[in-house]
Amino acid sequence: MRFDSLVDSVGHTPLVGLPTLSPSADVRLWAKLEDQNPTGSIKDRAALSMIEAAEADGTLRPGDTILEPTSGNTGISLAMVARQRGYHLICVMPENTSVERRQLLTMWGAQIISSPAAGGSNEAVRVAKGLAAEHPDWKMLYQYGNPANAEAHYRGTAPEILADLPEVTHFVGGLGTTGTLMGVGGFFREHKPEVRIVAAEPRYGELVYGLRNLDEGFVPELYDETLIDARFSVGPRDAVRRVRELIDAEGIFAGISTGAILHAALAQAKKSLEAGDRADICFVVADGGWKYLSTGAYEGTLDEAEDALEGQLWA
């Protein structure tokens, strides 16, 4: 396939079957390989969509500075697109975020502002909102509330799945900004409403939930619970176990969050099998495992990996 530039090659990712992990000929699992996007994650879709929407409505002009609270894939994706399009990017990320992510962001030309580690991503969002108020000339795209995030999946991810797998019965994705699930869920509600939308939500160690009071909690502005049908909480032990199964059984090397998504997909497969229903379950491989090698998830016993992930926002 030929494209005019790297940015033009975002999306149109492969959908591959899982012949070994699928429980039967009637209950099949399919992986949407979003790690094959240009910077290696599904966030390339949201980043490109948010920048193009801001260009289209005049919010972003050449030479502008983009501000975003992110410590992971969205920042890397935004940095790549921003560099190609001539924007500056400032990422607000919790201090002491892993060295790989800082190196990648810096390579693609992003500037990093640190937020206190203790509050995790909640705190990064709070700091970014404060900076946006102080610097009205900085353009915050705000992935947690930007409809263009969900639209990337409404226009791209979901129609690609339906074209490749018209018999799809379930979609399983990760719940973070909620953009993937809101976009895919919205598309299928309109075009094939019998498709069940299943969310896999990472459950972290206790420190991550260490708020001072419950009112500091956070639900992304994009989130609409009517667009999903089930929501599973998946801890690090199950996520690591599944990510290892995925590489052992199918040769797919995925990031830890994909293990959580696969765990929910396999739970659905088991339910369908027991009920005697036909099922074609599509799940997202959100990124590859490369950026997480230093977390300890890919070596040693499950106990060791679980200990290593304690206190980390691993998805």
Partner 1 sequence: MAEVRIPTILRPYTGGERAVSATGGTVAEIIDDLEANHEGIKERLLDGDDVRRFVNIYVDDEDIRFTGGLDTTVGDSASIVILPAVAGGAADIGAAGAPR
**Minimum gap (Å) between residue 212 Cβ and partner 1:** 8
200 in Cβ contact with 175 (< 8 Å): yes
89 vs 42, 64, 76, 269, CA distance in Å?
A: 19, 9, 10, 42
Instruction: Kindly tell me which of 5 and 213 has the beta carbon lying closer to partner 1.
Output: 213
Please give the Cα distance from 270 to 26 (Å, whole number).
12
Judge contact between 227 and 185, C-beta under 8 A. Answer: yes
Specify the amino acid at residue 137.
D
Interface with partner 1 by CB under 8 A: which residues? 69-74, 93-98, 101, 117-118, 120-122, 124-125, 144, 174-177, 201-220, 225, 228-234, 257, 295, 307-308, 310-315
CB of 49 vs partner 1, minimal distance in Å:
18
Per the annotation, the verdict on 257 as an active-site residue is yes
- Per the listing, tokens 């094939």 go with 192
Q: Is the dihedral of CA 200, 146, 102, 289 positive or negative?
A: positive
To the query of whether residue 43 is one of the catalytic residues in this protein, the response is yes
- Whichever of 19 and 210 has its CB closer to partner 1, that residue is 210
Q: How far is the CB of 2 from partner 1 (least distance, A)?
A: 32
Q: Which two tokens stand for residue 76?
A: 């890397």
- Asked whether the beta carbons of 38 and 9 are under 8 A apart, the reply is yes
Q: Which of 139, 257, 272, 291 is catalytic?
A: 257
CB of 311 to partner 1, least distance (A): 2
* Nearer to partner 1 among residue 165 and residue 220 (C-beta): 220
Looking at the Cβ atoms of 133 and 211, the one nearer to partner 1 is 211
Distance CA 270, CA 165 (A): 20
- CA distance linking residue 60 with residue 139, whole number of Å: 7
Tokens 């900004």 found at = 177
For the CA atoms of 144, 145, 149, 154, the dihedral, rounded to the nearest 10 degrees, stands at 120
Q: Which of 43, 71, 77, 291 is catalytic?
A: 43
CB nearer partner 1, residue 8 or residue 225: 225
Cβ atoms of 261 and 230 within 8 Å: the answer is: no
Closest CB 8 distance from partner 1, rounded Å: 26
- Catalytic site residues? 43, 257
